[in-house]
Structure 1
Amino acid sequence: MWWTLGLIVAVVAVWALHDIVQKKHSILHNFPVVGHFRYWLEHIGPELRQYIVTSDNEERPFSRAQRRWVYASSKSENNYFGFGTSVDLEEHPNHVIIKHSPFPLNDPHPGDANFDASYSIPSQKVLGEYRGRRHAFKPESLVNISGMSFGALSGPAIEAINRGCELAGALHNTGEGGVSPHHQHGGDLMWQIGTGYFGCREKDGTFSLERLMEVVEKNPVRALEIKLSQGAKPGVGGMLPAEKITPEIAAIRGIPMGKDCLSPSSHREFDSVDSMLDFVELLAQATGLPVGIKSAIGNMDFWSDLASQMATTNRGVDFITIDGGEGGTGAAPRVFSDHVALPFKHGMSRVYREFVAQDLQDHVTFIGSGKLGFPEQALLAFGMGCDMISVAREAMLSIGCIQAQRCHTGFCPAGVATQNKWLMAGLDPTLKAARLANYLVSLRKELLRLCRACGVSHPAYMTLDHFELLGKGMATQPAADAFGYDKTVTQAATLYEGIVR
């Protein structure tokens, strides 16, 4: 025992001496040994706040209440909350209020002739129909999965999402990392083409139409999405560190081993709206697929020019994915996450008004993205003119993400955002696929229930007249006024002229 005690004292003494003589950290010099607790507590601060300090509605990016709803929904557990709202409605600015109808529609129940256990909500628009794409199609679900790449996410996570999309009839966006074997488990794909052209590039990094055609012919790709920017880091390219690049990732992306995988900030194939539309039509004519763009919203000159050229030329995108500045599944510079690109509601309203001004709103499918994986936010997006929405981090939560915020380190404890074999082994793709499907079905179920409470049968029939925003104290504001939607824009946001029951 004395030997053990002496050894411990000796180790602590050496440790203290090291802390005193080192020059890097003044805290450790001034408080040897015990000063390390400061750094340990700082390191586990997010976990302490997550489970001990914060209330149900405080934490960001997703509160405990939001995570609890996703977790319960994904496990088909009771996702109700008891004893009334925990939100202070009179002191919660911009709180969304949905104005229900005095004559709501009845919900079908198990045993009714029109009951649908999958709560399927097909899109009311045919993707690619207006421009006559050969493979235009009507998406089975207006709730789909947003772009998350293999590489940023683990193979088992991608497989779970793809299997879950097949179960729920949803589209799976590949992210810019290319189409991998993990995407080939039954779910239909929207292939995202980023600035690195991963999976469809030459060795020098330029775009290869031949390679793109090979991948499209071998996989269930239903649409192509050209990524201009994303909410997490708009205006800058991405980077996958060399240590996270496996031989499988290198082969899929067409990149060398041992080097950081860099995505440029901008595309090499086009540098203007005019040349971008030429690139869009090249892809559409070669593949017959609907082709769209994804972008966070900053400078509005681009969108004015795009709407103008689509109105005056025989070229155009089939869909536009609006990504909010609050979005982002991976790592990004904090200043870009916090200060670059408009939040979804501001960005969507500005772009949509531009297209209404050119009478183009029915020619394009609008897809919303950016923390829209909750019923009230999704419904508001449909009221603003969205035809579909895509979810990402909420999907990650449904397959086990605990919001540890370690995505950028490669040590995701849930095995979702990592390439660590030990951590990935804890994620069962079959089990998690069912949980993703359950979450998507639950979200669609809540959307339908909200629509029926408002007296309409489909989210496409919602307008901003159905919403109001609470301010501090007793202030309120109609949502249409808040987002600058006059009657023309509000009516344009509804797919049909009347309310169809």
Structure 2
Amino acid sequence: MSEELLIEYLNLIDEHAWLFWSGVVFLFLFCVFIHDIFQKKHTIKHNFPIVGHIRYLFEKIGPELRQYWVANDKEEMPFNRAERSWVYATAKMQNNNFGFGTTELLYDAGYPIIKHSTFPFADSKAKFIEGDSSMIPSLKVMGEFRKRKKLYRPASVVNISAMSYGSLGERAVSSLNKGAKIARCYHNTGEGGLSPYHNFGADVVWQLGTGYFGARDEKGKFSLDHFVKRLDDNPNVRAIEIKLSQGAKPGKGGILPGAKVTKEIAEIRGIKAGQDCISPNAHTEFDDAKSLIDFIEKLASVSGLPVGIKSAVGESKFWEELASLMKETGQGPDFITIDGGEGGTGAAPLTFTDHVSLPFKVGFARVYKIFQKYEIADRVVWIGSGKLGFPDRAIVAFAMGCDLIHVARETMMSIGCIQAQKCHTGHCPAGVATQSKWLQAGLDVELKAKRAANYIKGFRKELLSVAHACGYEHPLQFTGNDIEIGAGQNRFRTLTEVLEYERAPVKFTTMMDYTSNITALG
């Protein structure tokens, strides 16, 4: 064979080899594409076939990249990588421990230290409700002091906070409701009101905002008839929460962009599809503390349910008036949810997000001290909200006076949220905060429900573990003297000294004595 023929033959082989390997690569990518579309474990891979794998690759090598190129695990906001990793691992029942010691600056001002006991409460002595080793029942009964007809003792001190159907998609809401049923905690509807996706069997707290969605007439005013009918159709509602304001945008109504207002959402809320849904910034049923109490008593009388309020904290005059009237009349909210300025699942203008309303620890302490001054702090079930979805923060909240906590964004992460911060656009890549059918399609409800439940249960188990280490059986036994706060220059002060008050003492005997009025689920 001549040299020219040999070269031509080799070139022909190279050309066919290139075509062959190109075909192999194309076939491989096509198979990956098909696999990603039909798999149900990873929403990102379903919504962004092939490309989605890059996200998980970067996540895998993220610690190395951040350590040498970008940022460390404690610098990302609003939740840093270490916090998100703990939520993800807990939700997936993976190893959520960390190695090689703390990366926190323990001597920084404001840093909390939980003081353990030399003689812990033995795990072997702990008694659990119906075989669930994570259960932590509420020590207070909603509506008990004011003798409501339908008393409610929450089965869990950790519950799912207010996030509306509309802000979240139907699959996300369904996952959270089903997860709440498995974990036996309650699910707050958010001001978007009751939807079919809140009706999978979990206990529900129906939130009424300024738009009165689900309980409004054709003119947008509150309708008692609509309110009663909606309750009759939703037997799982255990309490009513009137939203005065929220941490992300206090003094401003809820914002749901028109892109998220589907025909179904419009029907549920009583609004027009495709148009921005902007709630009024103030209620029309009341405009001061006295008329608020009158509205609360009207709802409680008609429904028989405990009725409470939710508010961020700004000026203190309202709280003084409310506490004074409650002391005088014996009427008022059965529970009070204090939302911190660090909260924020909803869309909001930047100024409201960053600068309006006090952070949780400051706001809660101010309100609680006012109620202590009027000697009625023990007549209210206190609920904390605002980045409390981690055991250390929950323990501080309990020591401050909270009886329950609400968790929002952390539960979103448990069902797949990656903190893309696209909630307000309708283009959430994880399919959580969107109404896009395509983006939601990768969110498998049954799988995500289990992960939401795993997170709640894992959270409670760690709460119990820390409580036991400190000599307590129940986390609400913590007091301000069990926690020390960094004061700078290597000095620490007890939480009691910092707050200048001690929470009202709790009455606790044993876990098994707090099972009455707990709704049996499942």
Q: Which residue of 1 aligns with 2:504?
A: 493
**Superimposed CA distance per residue, residues 46-78 of structure 1 (whole angstroms, 9 cap, x where no aligned partner):** x99997422111111111000000000000111
Pairing 1:193–2:204 present? no
Pairing 1:134–2:145 present? no
Runs (4 or more) in structure 1 with deviation over 6 Å come to: 47-51, 112-115, 497-501
Shift of 1:453: 1.2
Does the 8 Å CA contact 2:378/2:504 hold for their aligned counterparts? no
Q: Which residue identity lines up with residue 426 of structure 1 in the other structure?
A: G
- Tell me, in whole angstroms, the C-alpha distance in 1 between the residues paired with 2:152 and 2:348: 35
- Tell me, in whole angstroms, the C-alpha distance in 2 between the residues paired with 1:497 and 1:238: 39
- Tell me, in whole angstroms, the C-alpha distance in 2 between the residues paired with 1:116 and 1:467: 31
The percentage of aligned residue pairs carrying the same residue is: 54
Secondary structure, aligned partner of 1:408: coil
Instruction: Return closer, same or farther for 1:500/1:481 CA change in 2, 3 Å cut-off.
Output: farther
Pick aligned residue for 1:404 from 393, 417, 420: 420
Q: Which residue of 2 aligns with 1:66?
A: 83
- Tell me, in whole angstroms, the C-alpha distance in 2 between the residues paired with 1:75 and 1:312: 50
Pairing 1:438–2:438 present? no
Gaps of 5+ in 2: 1-54, 513-522
Q: Which residue identity lines up with residue 92 of structure 2 in the other structure?
A: K
Q: Which residue of 2 aligns with 1:25?
A: none
Pairing 1:273–2:289 present? yes
Pairing 1:356–2:372 present? yes
Q: Which residue of 1 aligns with 2:191?
A: 176
Q: Which residue identity lines up with residue 359 of structure 2 in the other structure?
A: P
Give RMSD over aligned pairs. 2.2
Does the 8 Å CA contact 1:151/1:249 hold for their aligned counterparts? yes
Q: Which residue identity lines up with residue 197 of structure 1 in the other structure?
A: Y
Shift of 1:454: 1.3
Secondary structure, aligned partner of 2:123: coil
Q: Which residue of 2 aligns with 1:82?
A: 99
Secondary structure, aligned partner of 1:243: helix
Secondary structure, aligned partner of 2:268: helix
Secondary structure, aligned partner of 2:377: coil
**Superimposed CA distance per residue, residues 178-224 of structure 1 (whole angstroms, 9 cap, x where no aligned partner):** 11111111111000000000111011110011111111111110000
- Tell me, in whole angstroms, the C-alpha distance in 1 between the residues paired with 2:321 and 2:292: 12
Shift of 1:314: 3.3
- Tell me, in whole angstroms, the C-alpha distance in 2 between the residues paired with 1:312 and 1:200: 30
Q: Out of 386-395 and 327-336, give the one that drifted further.
A: 327-336
- Tell me, in whole angstroms, the C-alpha distance in 2 between the residues paired with 1:118 and 1:426: 32
- Tell me, in whole angstroms, the C-alpha distance in 1 between the residues paired with 2:379 and 2:129: 31
TM-score normalised according to structure 2 size: 0.83
- Tell me, in whole angstroms, the C-alpha distance in 1 between the residues paired with 2:308 and 2:347: 25
Does the 8 Å CA contact 1:158/1:183 hold for their aligned counterparts? yes
Does the 8 Å CA contact 2:139/2:508 hold for their aligned counterparts? no
Secondary structure, aligned partner of 1:471: strand
Does the 8 Å CA contact 1:382/1:462 hold for their aligned counterparts? yes
Shift of 1:499: 11
- Tell me, in whole angstroms, the C-alpha distance in 1 between the residues paired with 2:505 and 2:402: 9
More relative contact order, 1 or 2 (CA 8 Å, 6+ apart): 2
Shift of 1:98: 0.3
Aligned pairs for 1:303-318 (under 5 A) are: 303-318=319-334
Question: Which is greater in Rg?
Answer: 2
Aligned pairs for 1:346-425 (under 5 A) are: 346-425=362-441
Secondary structure, aligned partner of 1:426: coil
Shift of 1:471: 3.5
TM-score normalised according to structure 1 size: 0.86
Shift of 1:348: 0.8
Secondary structure, aligned partner of 2:383: strand
Q: Which residue of 2 aligns with 1:150?
A: 165
Does the 8 Å CA contact 1:461/1:499 hold for their aligned counterparts? no
- Tell me, in whole angstroms, the C-alpha distance in 2 between the residues paired with 1:474 and 1:351: 30
Give the total of aligned pairs. Answer: 449
- Tell me, in whole angstroms, the C-alpha distance in 1 between the residues paired with 2:493 and 2:182: 40
Pairing 1:218–2:229 present? no
- Tell me, in whole angstroms, the C-alpha distance in 1 between the residues paired with 2:498 and 2:200: 43
Q: Which residue identity lines up with residue 226 of structure 2 in the other structure?
A: R
Does the 8 Å CA contact 2:113/2:484 hold for their aligned counterparts? yes
